[in-house]
A and B are shown apart, each in its own frame.
Chain A
Amino acid sequence: MAVVRIPPVLRPSTDGAKEVDAAGNSVGDVLRSLAQTHPSTESQLFADGGDLNRYVNVYLNDEDVRVLDGLDTPVGGNDVLVILPAMAGG
């Protein structure tokens, strides 16, 4: 199980949880598993075609999955996925 870190704006969709364990062997699998458990995250993470929304940054540990293999990036049991939205508060 990988750990997915949930940003504040998505926590209402995860019953307030800051971290969620989710199963899967790839970034896409882990995030779809998260969306199955917490359905309201799905539209926030995925576009209609099943790709990640362009405004959602996802990091495998400290690396942006866009420079890895995107949703196909392999994920191990000890990995951490960070979901990161832009914030504009100042």
Chain B
Amino acid sequence: MSPSGAEYIRKIKSEIAEVDPTAAHELAGNGNGVAFVDVRETDEFDRGHVPGATHIPRGYLESRIDGAVPDRNQHVVLYCASGQRSALAAKTLQELGYEHVESMTGGFTLWKDRGYEFDVPRTLSPEQRERYSRHMLVPEIGPEGQQKLLDAKVLLLGAGGLGSPTALYLAAAGVGTIGIVDDDEVDLSNLQRQVIHTTDRIGTPKVDSAQESMNAINPDVNVVKYQTRLDGSNIMEIIEGYDVIVDGADNFPTRYLLNDASVRLKIPVVSASILGFDGQLSVFAPYEGPCYRCLYPMPPPAELAPSCGANGVLGVLPGTMGLLQATEVVKLIVSAGEPLIGRLLLYEALGATFTELKVRRDPECPICSREPDEISDEEMGVFPDYEAFCAAAG
């Protein structure tokens, strides 16, 4: 006669090792590198779990355990609500060759009853879980990374060529607060590349147009609009409090000003620039890597700085470079991968080539060789009389 379910579980329990919550708690506290694996369902895990536990619902155990606990000699403590599902899971891990597996008796219920600490994670709504489901499946992001994105504040300098794709994708990715600084209005000549704007919004402020497109993709994003031009009098107030700044400015004075202010406030800047078929990209993380002035101590004169006037650019190019910027922003927020700090990436579209150059901190940098509180308001954005130079060059 086939065994009942209860008999089957009893039999399994006789074939595996079990651990009492008190002993498990001691194991957790003595730093011996025990891996706690919670095999309950997502809603149970979200209501509270052992601190540091890895969540693998029992139905996914076989497919996910290798990624979570690759070492078969690792000491693993499995738990569920009461110790039944974890007993079955322990049997499975034994069969998969795990040498030191225990099921916690009484499960999380007894752990909590004994007053041991537990974490209650902030959870995403069902709608958010669905919207960001493809992020959930990426180990480098997952629910924790998505929560970081939702909590993040990113400031975009410019809702133009670079800012358009960056804004759209960061909004789609669920960056919770996105500020946009731009004093311009949508012009017909923008639409060859500034894909956040539309023909029927010509003449409207770019910040309004950008907000409409971003919220159309993701109504959860809080868009903060700054319809102004950054200058020495407003920059500190505007950028303070942001986690990351995306530099898509179209002129040198703003780029130097932003650099100096962001160093003072220790805010990383994901910087890109474009011209013709060429793009440049780097991440300037104050005091961790070089700053913009370390890379470019001086701006070029007007004849070598076409940004002084209107210039041609391949319409697709800011899309390419803006999305590389957006990627670096997401990496910084979720702390994934190797950010482009101390490296400059050059993209040359005609030849379809990428070149990477090293960027070093300049020990004599007029800005980042000093402490933030040594940099005065008057020093920010200072360099040879560039605006006058540009004006003279027409």
Contacts and interface: CB of A to CB of B under 8 A. Distances in A.
State whether these chains interact. yes
B157 to A, nearest CB: 8
A40 to B, nearest CB: 11
Contact of A87 (B280, B348, B356, B357): B280
Given A9-B306, A62-B358, A84-B357, A90 B252 contact: no
B176 interface: no
Given A18-B348, A57-B295, A89-B274, 18 more contacts: A8-B275, A8-B277, A8-B278, A9-B300, A55-B296, A55-B304, A82-B357, A86-B273, A86-B299, A87-B273, A87-B280, A87-B306, A88-B273, A89-B250, A90-B161, A90-B247, A90-B274, A90-B318
A70 interface: no
Contacts of B301: 55
Interface of A: 7-10, 18, 44, 54-57, 59, 62-64, 67, 82, 84-90
Given A9-B304, A44-B304, A90 B358 contact: no
B304 A89 contact: no
Contacts of B318: 90
Contacts of A57: 295-296
Nearest to B350: A18
A85 B296 CA distance: 8
A90 to B, nearest CB: 4
B276 interface: yes
A85 B304 contact: yes
Interface string B59-100: 000000000000000000000000000000000000000000
A30 to B, nearest CB: 17
B387 to A, nearest CB: 12
Q: Pick from A64, A85, A87 the residue with the most CB of B within 10 Å.
A: A87
B160 A90 contact: yes
Nearest to B296: A86
B305 A88 contact: yes
B158 A64 contact: no
Given A64-B358, A82-B355, A90 B306 contact: no
Contacts of A54: 297-298
Interface string B156-179: 011011110000000000000000
A78 to B, nearest CB: 16
A13 B298 CA distance: 22
Interface string B234-252: 0000000000000111111
Contact of A90 (B163, B277, B303, B350): B163
Q: Pick from B275, B301, B359 the residue with the most CB of A within 10 Å.
A: B275
A43 to B, nearest CB: 10
Interface in B277-325: 277-278, 280, 295-301, 303-307, 311, 313, 318
**A-B residue pairs, 6 tightest by C-beta:** A88-B307, A90-B248, A87-B273, A90-B250, A86-B296, A55-B300
B382 to A, nearest CB: 15
Contact of B360 (A10, A67, A89, A90): A67
B126 to A, nearest CB: 39
Contact of B249 (A7, A44, A82, A90): A90
Given A62-B357, A89-B275, A55 B280 contact: no
A8 B249 CA distance: 20
B250 A88 contact: yes
Nearest to B304: A9
A86 B313 CA distance: 16
Given A62-B356, A64-B359, A89 B306 contact: yes
Interface string B356-381: 11111000000000000000000000
A84 to B, nearest CB: 7
Contacts of A9: 275, 300, 304-306
B304 A88 contact: no
Contacts of A82: 346, 355, 357
A85 B300 contact: yes
A88 B358 contact: no
28 contacts: A7-B278, A9-B300, A9-B306, A10-B304, A18-B351, A44-B304, A55-B296, A56-B300, A57-B295, A57-B296, A62-B356, A62-B357, A62-B358, A63-B358, A64-B360, A85-B305, A86-B252, A87-B280, A87-B307, A88-B249, A88-B250, A88-B255, A88-B305, A90-B161, A90-B247, A90-B249, A90-B274, A90-B318
